[in-house]
């Protein structure tokens, strides 16, 4: 394994400031830019507190040295610096009253890097140094102890107007190292020898090819994502390793990481950006990667490569969707063909124990049933091999499938006295999970039959899929499921292309297509779910009882297939 040169970086906090430049500076597109100037406003810790707290009893010492430069990080339409490598901008050694408030400030000098496009920006890091490279003033982070003693803590939002000088005052406090985290976790590297370097490299595999992965990380102090933010969406460049200084304070230091796989348009292309690793690691884990005084091995993750990470520091995440490139996604292996003939209601075994049924709130209480697995000799579609000819009425039959039946007279116990009543049907059955990667194109087919005459009711059948369903809870069709549109997605392998049914199927539509009564119709759709997924069949509609024992409905389903194209 190639090692990386290790350096103990003093995490330079970079302050981004611009003074008077030409006001019509523009970029290659002709867009007018604005100059940014940061002014340091030193707060008095002895008397000030913005949140009603008393003055500090342990006041940081002020060095009295003149500020020489600032290290800053600015985020917005144009980013300047990063937490791993802040931007250095010099400070005018002569203070002056920049904003006419009667108070003199030390202001950053003009620099082209702080001539940026107009828009909304955020200053996320600001530390001021003297000429001997000692940190003397710091802008504290929000939700830290010292944030209570400045009018505005970081991150500091500001607007940049094009063609103008934009002055941004920054509230700073004197810095000493007695309680570093009171200023914010991002400032740990201001103290020499209290930073260690953690390097990450990634491999992404797709279709037998291994690529250098692009990725980004979020890292917090502590054991979950509620600690102080060390790095937010810090990304590597062009598949290269990412090396980050990490705090190495007294005792054991714990950190929490979430790593997201990112696009690489030059190699493997545009992919689904999901968290693929997460978990806690410590300074001891980092030091275990060191070799000698100068070299460090990176942590290497292998996504979709059939290999373990080296070392195995973090959880491999499967958050309901399949990480892109994963060669071993969760779910039933495809192709999956289910004719339901092995179903036995007296001894439910896999995969039938994974079929789940649900009643939605709109369904009338009197109905008391859902689509369900069923065994009924001779009443289901024959072998899948007969599928192209199933509409001629002569195809063989089989004995098991899925069924829903309701009769507004016999099923309610009130029989003829129910004439005029309306019964609302709304229920579903959910399949087991099917294994798929982010790029798999899926061909889904299922045979369905409306058992009675075409005009007897107007109930609807819908088909849905989801990559984020948790496998057990009540489906939320409004947010976590995609409704299959058969008109748009039908590929026409087994039934006429461009199935006019759209997003639902009714008995009348089936009759109009020549599949009324006990004939079977093939529903078919081709789609890219984006990962492992579940299928849902929903049965909904109203029955208005108008005659004795005649207002009934029955749909049957058989021969579910899920295949990759």
pLDDT of residue 213: 92
Kindly report whether the global pTM for this prediction surpasses the value 0.85: no
Q: What's phi and psi for 401, nearest 5 deg?
A: 180, -145
Q: What's phi and psi for 88, nearest 5 deg?
A: -95, 130
Q: Does a structural domain hold residue 326?
A: no
Q: Does a structural domain hold residue 14?
A: yes
Cβ-based neighbours of 265, under 8 Å, separated by 6 or more: none
**Other beta carbons within 10 Å of 2:** 8
Counting runs of H as helices and runs of E as strands, what totals does the chain give?
3, 33
Residue 548 near residue 513, CB atoms below 8 Å = no
Q: Does a structural domain hold residue 331?
A: no
Asked if the model's pLDDT at residue 282 lies above 90, the reply is: yes
**Token digits of residue 510:** 């089936």
Residue 35 pLDDT grade (very low, low, confident, very high; cuts 50, 70, 90) = very high
Domain shared by 270 and 172, yes or no: no
**Token digits of residue 196:** 């260690």
pLDDT of residue 27: 56
If phi > 0 it is left, if psi is from -120 to 50 it is alpha, else beta; for residue 133 that is left
* Least confident residue range of 127-131, 227-231, 322-326, 380-384: 322-326
Mean of pLDDT over the chain: 79
Domain shared by 390 and 539, yes or no: yes
Domain shared by 404 and 270, yes or no: no
Domain shared by 408 and 284, yes or no: no
pLDDT of residue 330: 78
DSSP state of 240: -
Quote the number of domains for the chain. 3
Asked if the model's pLDDT at residue 88 lies above 90, the reply is: yes
- Domain ends where: 150, 171, 190? 190
- Domain ends where: 161, 190, 219? 190
Residue 529 near residue 535, CB atoms below 8 Å = no
The runs of H, that is alpha helices, within 147-301 are 283-287
Q: Does a structural domain hold residue 328?
A: no
Domain shared by 375 and 435, yes or no: yes
As a whole number of angstroms, the distance between CA 534 and CA 126 comes to 48
229-235 sheet: strands from edge to edge:
229-235, 214-221, 254-262, 275-282, 315-316
Q: Does a structural domain hold residue 324?
A: no
pLDDT of residue 377: 85
Average confidence (pLDDT) over 49-64: 53
Asked if the model's pLDDT at residue 292 lies above 90, the reply is: no
CATH of residue 406's domain is: 2.60.120.200
Domain shared by 175 and 201, yes or no: no
Q: Does a structural domain hold residue 429?
A: yes
- Domain ends where: 160, 190, 220? 190
pLDDT of residue 335: 85
Q: Does a structural domain hold residue 4?
A: no
Domain shared by 200 and 343, yes or no: no
Domain shared by 410 and 515, yes or no: yes
Domain shared by 429 and 407, yes or no: yes
pLDDT of residue 51: 42
pLDDT tens-digit series, residues 247-274: 877 788 899 999 999 988 888 888 888 8
Domain shared by 293 and 363, yes or no: no
As a whole number of angstroms, the distance between CA 324 and CA 79 comes to 28
pLDDT tens-digit series, residues 426-484: 999 999 999 888 888 898 988 888 887 655 666 789 999 999 898 899 999 988 899 99
CATH of residue 112's domain is: 2.60.40.3540
Bridge partner list, 432: none
pLDDT tens-digit series, residues 487-530: 777 665 655 555 667 777 777 777 777 676 778 888 888 898 98
Q: Does a structural domain hold residue 2?
A: no
Residue 56 pLDDT grade (very low, low, confident, very high; cuts 50, 70, 90) = very low
Domain shared by 436 and 495, yes or no: yes
Domain shared by 438 and 544, yes or no: yes
Q: Which domain holds residue 528?
A: 336-564
Pairing of strands 165-174, 33-42: parallel
């Amino acid at each position: 394994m190639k090692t990386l040169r290790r350096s103990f970086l003093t995490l330079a906090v970079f302050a981004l400031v611009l003074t008077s430049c030409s006001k019509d500076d523009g970029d290659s597109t002709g867009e007018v830019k604005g100059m940014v100037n940061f002014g340091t406003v030193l707060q008095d810790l002895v008397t000030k507190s913005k949140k009603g707290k008393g003055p500090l009893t342990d006041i940081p010492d002020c060095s009295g040295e003149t500020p020489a430069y600032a290290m800053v990080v600015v985020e917005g339409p144009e980013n300047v610096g990063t937490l791993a490598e802040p931007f250095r901008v010099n400070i005018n050694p002569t203070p002056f009253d920049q904003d006419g408030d009667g108070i003199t400030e030390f202001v950053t000098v003009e620099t082209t890097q702080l001539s940026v496009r107009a828009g909304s920006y955020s200053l996320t890091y600001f530390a001021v140094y003297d000429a001997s490279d000692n940190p003397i003033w710091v802008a504290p982070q929000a939700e830290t102890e010292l944030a209570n003693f400045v009018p505005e803590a970081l991150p500091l939002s500001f607007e940049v107007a094009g063609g103008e000088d934009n002055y941004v005052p920054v509230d700073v406090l004197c810095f000493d190292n007695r309680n570093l985290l009171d200023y914010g976790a991002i400032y740990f590297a201001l103290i020499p020898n209290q930073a260690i370097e953690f390097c990450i490299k990634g491999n992404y595999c797709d279709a037998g090819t291994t690529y250098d992965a692009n990725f980004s990380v979020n890292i917090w102090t502590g054991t979950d994502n509620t600690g102080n933010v060390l790095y937010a969406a810090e990304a590597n460049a062009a598949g290269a390793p990412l090396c980050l200084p990490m705090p190495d304070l007294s005792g054991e230091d714990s950190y929490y990481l979430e790593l997201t796989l990112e696009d690489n348009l030059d190699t493997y292309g545009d992919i689904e950006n999901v968290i693929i690793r997460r978990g806690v690691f410590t300074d001891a884990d980092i030091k275990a990667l060191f070799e000698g005084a100068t070299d460090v091995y990176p942590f290497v993750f292998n996504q979709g490569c059939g290999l373990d990470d080296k070392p195995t520091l973090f959880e491999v995440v499967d958050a309901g969707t399949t990480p892109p490139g994963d060669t071993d996604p969760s779910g039933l292996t495809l192709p999956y063909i289910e004719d339901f003939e092995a179903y036995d209601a007296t001894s439910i075994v896999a995969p039938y124990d994974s079929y789940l049924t649900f009643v939605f709130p709109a369904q009338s209480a009197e109905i008391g049933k859902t689509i369900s697995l069923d065994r009924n000799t001779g009443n289901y579609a024959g072998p899948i091999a007969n599928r192209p000819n199933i509409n001629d009425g002569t195809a063989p039959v089989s004995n098991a499938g899925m069924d829903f039946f309701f009769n507004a007279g016999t099923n309610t116990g009130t029989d003829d006295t129910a004439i005029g009543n309306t019964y609302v049907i709304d229920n579903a059955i959910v399949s087991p999970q099917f294994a798929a990667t982010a790029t798999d194109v899926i061909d889904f087919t299922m045979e369905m039959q409306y058992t009675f005459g075409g005009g007897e009711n107007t109930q609807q059948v819908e088909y849905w899929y989801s990559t984020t369903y948790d496998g057990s809870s009540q489906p939320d069709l409004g947010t976590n499921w995609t409704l299959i549109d058969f008109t748009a997605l039908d590929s026409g392998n087994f039934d006429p292309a461009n199935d006019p049914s759209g997003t639902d199927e009714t008995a009348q539509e089936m009759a109009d297509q020549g599949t009324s009564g006990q004939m079977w119709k093939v529903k078919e759709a081709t789609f890219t779910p984006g990962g492992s997924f579940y299928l849902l069949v929903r049965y909904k509609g109203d029955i208005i009882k108008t005659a004795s024992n005649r207002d009934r409905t029955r749909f049957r389903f058989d021969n579910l297939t899920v295949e990759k194209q």
